[in-house]
């Protein structure tokens, strides 16, 4: 996925009210932009650090831009726009990059399912049946570690999705939890038990029920982000 229009560079002044960030562009322009990330962004931003944002010319928008990439305190790059994850994974699925899920004949997005009234990110159709794929964007990294973690804040919604997937798996339906690790410099992903032990427990219960867990990493620059490699999952 290439960023279009091209991203502009700046430095972070502060993030606040979850969805707002004040930045200064390289030309000295002060802007308040949209932060499209519902998590805590723990270990993912530093005041004064580099950021890249997309600018919109839509007169109906209240804010002129969207925060896309940040430099982390560890010197990595993270794509903080969580809305990109599903599109990245869809591109990778259609290109056959995610080999474990290759061979589907149809792909549908946001399909209602489950006992808790959820929507699956992707339902893939194969000659032998369906696969339900839930995608999570991962940006949490740590000093001196090449293992990323999810989530970066307590997520009851994430645990719900795991319960739904586990129910499908017990019924004999293929169910997949897929982590899109939008963070450079990592080789694996794990549940962040120190942040949300309930989510970590739900993940292990889902695996025990037959849910398949996959993780894929990206190559990330200010020009483009592409899913390009499988990562290890540490339970």
| pLDDT score for 94 | 98
Residues 64, 120, single domain; the answer is: no
pLDDT per residue over 193-226, tens digit each?
A: 999 999 999 999 999 999 999 999 999 999 999 9
CATH number, domain with residue 47: 2.40.50.580
Domain boundary among 51, 74, 97: 74
Q: Which residues of 112-145 are buried (b: 16+ CB within 10 A; e: fewer)?
A: ebbeeebebbbbbeeeeebbbbbbbbbbbbbeee
The answer on 122 and 172 residing in a single domain is yes
The dihedral over CA atoms of 16, 9, 68, 138, expressed in degrees to the nearest 10, equals -90
Residue 30 has pLDDT above 90, yes or no: yes
Q: What pLDDT does residue 173 have?
A: 98
Q: Are 70 and 88 contained in the same domain? A: no
How much is the pTM? Answer: 0.96
Q: With cut-offs at 50, 70 and 90, classify the pLDDT of residue 131.
A: very high
User: What CATH number is associated with residue 137?
Assistant: 3.40.1350.60
What is the pLDDT at residue 26? Answer: 96
Residues 68 and 93 in one domain: no
How large is the average pLDDT for residues 160-177? 98
Q: Are residues 191 and 210 in the same domain?
A: yes
Q: Quote the radius of gyration of the chain (alpha carbons, Å).
A: 18
- Domain residues for the domain of 29 are 8-74
Same structural domain, 93 and 206: yes
How many structural domains does the chain have? Answer: 2
pLDDT at 57: 84
Which of 74, 92, 120 marks a domain boundary?
A: 74
- Tens of pLDDT, residues 136-163: 999 999 998 999 999 999 999 999 999 9
31 and 101: one domain? no
Based on the fold, state whether residues 156 and 220 are members of the same structural domain: yes
Last residue of a domain, one of 29, 48, 74: 74
| pLDDT more than 90, % of the chain | 95
Give 127's pLDDT tier (boundaries 50, 70, 90): very high
Asked whether residue 69 falls in the same domain as residue 96, the answer is no
């Amino acid at each position: 996925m290439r960023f279009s229009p091209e991203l502009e560079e700046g430095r972070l002044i502060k993030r606040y009210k979850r969805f707002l960030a004040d930045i200064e562009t390289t030309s000295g322009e002060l802007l308040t932009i949209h932060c499209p990330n519902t998590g805590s962004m723990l270990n993912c931003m530093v005041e004064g650090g580099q950021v890249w944002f997309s600018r919109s010319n839509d007169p109906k928008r209240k804010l002129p831009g969207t925060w896309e990439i940040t430099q982390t305190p560890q010197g990595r790059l993270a794509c903080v726009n969580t809305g990109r994850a599903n599109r990245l994974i869809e591109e990778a699925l259609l290109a056959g990059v995610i080999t474990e899920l290759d061979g589907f004949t149809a792909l549908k997005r946001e399909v209602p399912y489950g006992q808790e009234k959820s929507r699956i990110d992707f339902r893939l159709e194969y000659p032998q049946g369906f696969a339900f794929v839930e995608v999570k964007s991962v940006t949490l990294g740590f000093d001196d570690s090449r293992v990323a973690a999810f989530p970066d804040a307590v997520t009851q919604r994430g645990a719900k999705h795991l319960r739904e997937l586990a129910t499908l798996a017990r019924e004999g339906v293929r169910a997949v939890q897929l982590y899109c690790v939008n963070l450079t410099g990592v080789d694996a992903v794990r549940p962040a038990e120190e942040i949300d032990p309930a989510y970590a427990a739900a993940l292990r219960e889902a695996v025990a029920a037959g849910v398949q867990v996959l993780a894929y990493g990206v190559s990330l620059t200010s020009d483009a982000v592409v899913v390009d490699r499988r990562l290890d999952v540490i339970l």
